[in-house]
Amino acid sequence: GAGVSQTPSNKVTEKGKYVELRCDPISGHTALYWYRQSLGQGPEFLIYFQGTGAADDSGLPNDRFFAVRPEGSVSTLKIQRTERGDSAVYLCASSLSSDTGELFFGEGSRLTVL
Amino acid sequence: GNSVTQMEGPVTLSEEAFLTINCTYTATGYPSLFWYVQYPGEGLQLLLKATKADDKGSNKGFEATYRKETTSFHLEKGSVQVSDSAVYFCALRNRGSQGNLIFGKGTKLSVKP
């Protein structure tokens, strides 16, 4: 497709389970970002990839959160031992380069931890 | 630290009314400033941006001017339409921070016919 694609769109899981969220960026975009948006809040930065490497992971809240982008395209956000406080919409965005500030966002993956 | 403060919504206007959504920021150095919009059922998309003081960003009839002296980037539109109903996010990015956009909480706008 033409835009950023995120799957699943909705995920309900139980406390303590492991979750993977996938992001397929726009073709040719080298920069990829993960954000988290809680209800009534703006998106909160988690991690940013330039190519295959994580250029800035300062927003990851703790070591239960991890993200990869092994081939410089698709990225997976992994959450271990989920907690109820992890419930949020996880947004992925991509951009042609990291310089412009113009990010193209997907519709997000809504995670609910029961 | 760096932060963005937006006026709280929701904002409800009649079609053709004038719109202002206030945004102020706190940042070290000289950030770039952005307005993103999220229409119902869609992802966030860039509406406009300004990269230095006194720059004016504009798009789709919306405007915002980067005011360094008041640390503000208020969004304005002279005549809103029903199709402008969306959530609007003000954001900043410090120079050198690459992808790390810092967003405000968002302001929901509803325009009634």
Residue-averaged pLDDT of chain A: 93
Dump pLDDT digits (tens) for A95-104. 987 677 789 9
User: Is the model's pLDDT at B28 over the cut of 90?
Assistant: no
Separation in Å, CA of A105 to nearest CA in chain B: 5
* Per-residue model confidence (pLDDT) at position A1: 54
Separation in Å, CA of A30 to nearest CA in chain B: 12
Distance (Å) of CA A36 to CA A33, A59, B30, B59 = 10, 10, 25, 27
pLDDT band at residue B99 under the 50/70/90 scheme = low
The string over A92-111, giving b where at least 16 C-beta atoms fall within 10 Å of a residue's C-beta and e elsewhere, is bbbbeebeebebbbbbbbbb
Report the residue from B93, B104, B106 with minimal CB separation from A101. B93
Percent of chain B with pLDDT over 90: 82
Percent of chain A with pLDDT over 70: 97
> Which residues, in sequence order, are CB contacts of B93 under 8 Å at separation 6+?
A101, B31, B32, B34, B99, B100, B101, B102
* Per-residue model confidence (pLDDT) at position B108: 96
Cβ distance A103 to B49 less than 8 Å, yes or no, reads no
Q: What value does the mean pLDDT take over residues B68-93?
A: 96
Q: Is B91 on the interface with A (CB under 8 A)?
A: yes
User: Is the model's pLDDT at B94 over the cut of 80?
Assistant: yes
Q: Is B42 on the interface with A (CB under 8 A)?
A: yes
The string over B7-31, giving b where at least 16 C-beta atoms fall within 10 Å of a residue's C-beta and e elsewhere, is beeebebeeeeebebbbbbebeeeb
User: Is the model's pLDDT at A14 over the cut of 70?
Assistant: yes
* Per-residue model confidence (pLDDT) at position A2: 79
Q: Is B49 on the interface with A (CB under 8 A)?
A: yes
* Per-residue model confidence (pLDDT) at position A97: 76
Q: Which residues of A touch B46 (CB under 8 A)?
A: 101-103
* Per-residue model confidence (pLDDT) at position A25: 96
Report the residue from A59, A102, A108 with minimal CB separation from B43. A108
The string over A12-42, giving b where at least 16 C-beta atoms fall within 10 Å of a residue's C-beta and e elsewhere, is ebeeeeebebebbbbeebbbbbbbbbeeeeb
